[in-house]
């Protein structure tokens, strides 16, 4: 797992670091290492929040086109589901996850960012889904997650034109959550997730599951899903501590249990 993707853990933050210069192209090996990294931070109770980071120069400029250029329909039919599920593993991390984006987040790189809960973007960064210019469409969640995030009309604009957006437009349409100078991207991402490090981990997990799962359901099913998750939290130590602290007018001491 340490060839192109590295997991660093410090002060409760697990950083999934892409290291495949010069552009962090997401070839098959990187995809599978991302899956392994997602499994690692999910299973580590010492990790309370996650940052996905490509380094100071570039987040990820897309899939490895050289690797895909000679693939047939049969080849890609066998690979496509694994490609999608590898980035889906990032989306399923049951902890707060933020993408720290410098340089470019294009194609598969943009899809990786979309799999995170939030996106902190450098002022000079560019984001987009340029696959249409190669005669294909996004294949790792781009058509689905982008439409849910910015709406179908804007998603069709970006996907069907293949154009890139700058940080200001990304912020305006909801593709970015914060825009900061390039040299502050990682620190701003850490600042975003820092409040969650001492929060009620099981409730944070349930909140993420409720929102993400509910988006795939009709309203009635989503409300039933929410009720189930809500009731389950009454079995946690943090629920008891949180309510006791409220009654006693003190700050809660959550343990994540």
Angle, helix 201-214 to helix 237-247, in steps of 10 degrees: 110
Enclosing H/E stretch for 237: helix 237-247
Give me the count of residues in the chain. Answer: 257
Active-site hit among 55, 60, 89, 111: 111
Per DSSP, what are the bridge partners of residue 57? Answer: none
CA distance 128 to 170: 9
Active-site hit among 49, 86, 103, 131: 131
Catalytic residue flag (residue 108): yes
Active-site hit among 49, 60, 61, 63: 63
Catalytic residue flag (residue 213): no
Distances in Å between the Cα of 207 and the Cα atoms of 28, 113, 120, 135, 143 are 32, 20, 21, 38, 24
Catalytic residue flag (residue 63): yes
Catalytic residue flag (residue 131): yes
Concatenated DSSP letters for 65-85? HHHHTT--HHHHHHHHHHHHH
Any idea which residue has 């987009």 for tokens? 128
Report, as residue numbers or ranges, the catalytic residues.
63, 108, 111, 131
């Amino acid at each position: 797992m340490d060839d192109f993707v590295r997991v660093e853990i410090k002060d409760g933050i697990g950083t999934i670091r892409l290291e495949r210069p010069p552009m962090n192209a997401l070839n098959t090996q990187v995809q599978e290492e991302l899956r392994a990294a997602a499994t690692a931070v999910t299973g580590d109770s010492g990790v309370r929040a996650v940052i996905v980071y490509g380094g100071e120069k570039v987040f990820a400029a897309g899939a490895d086109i050289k690797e895909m250029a000679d693939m047939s329909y049969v080849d890609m039919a066998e690979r496509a589901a694994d490609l999608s599920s590898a980035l889906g593993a990032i989306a399923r991390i049951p902890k707060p996850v933020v993408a720290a984006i410098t340089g470019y987040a294009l194609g598969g790189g943009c899809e990786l960012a979309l799999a995170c809960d939030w996106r902190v973007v450098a002022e000079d960064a560019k984001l987009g889904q340029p696959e249409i210019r190669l005669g294909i469409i996004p294949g790792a969640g781009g058509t689905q997650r982008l439409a849910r995030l910015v709406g179908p009309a804007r998603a069709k604009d970006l996907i069907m034109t293949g154009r890139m957006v700058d940080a200001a437009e990304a912020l305006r349409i909801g593709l970015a959550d914060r825009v900061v100078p390039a040299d502050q991207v990682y620190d701003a991402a850490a600042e975003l997730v820092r409040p969650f490090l001492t929060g009620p981990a099981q409730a944070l997990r349930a909140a993420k599951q409720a929102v993400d799962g509910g988006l795939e359901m009709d309203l009635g099913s989503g409300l039933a899903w929410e009720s189930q998750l809500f009731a389950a939290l009454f079995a946690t130590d943090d629920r008891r501590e949180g309510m006791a602290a409220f009654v006693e007018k003190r700050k809660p001491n959550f343990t994540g249990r």
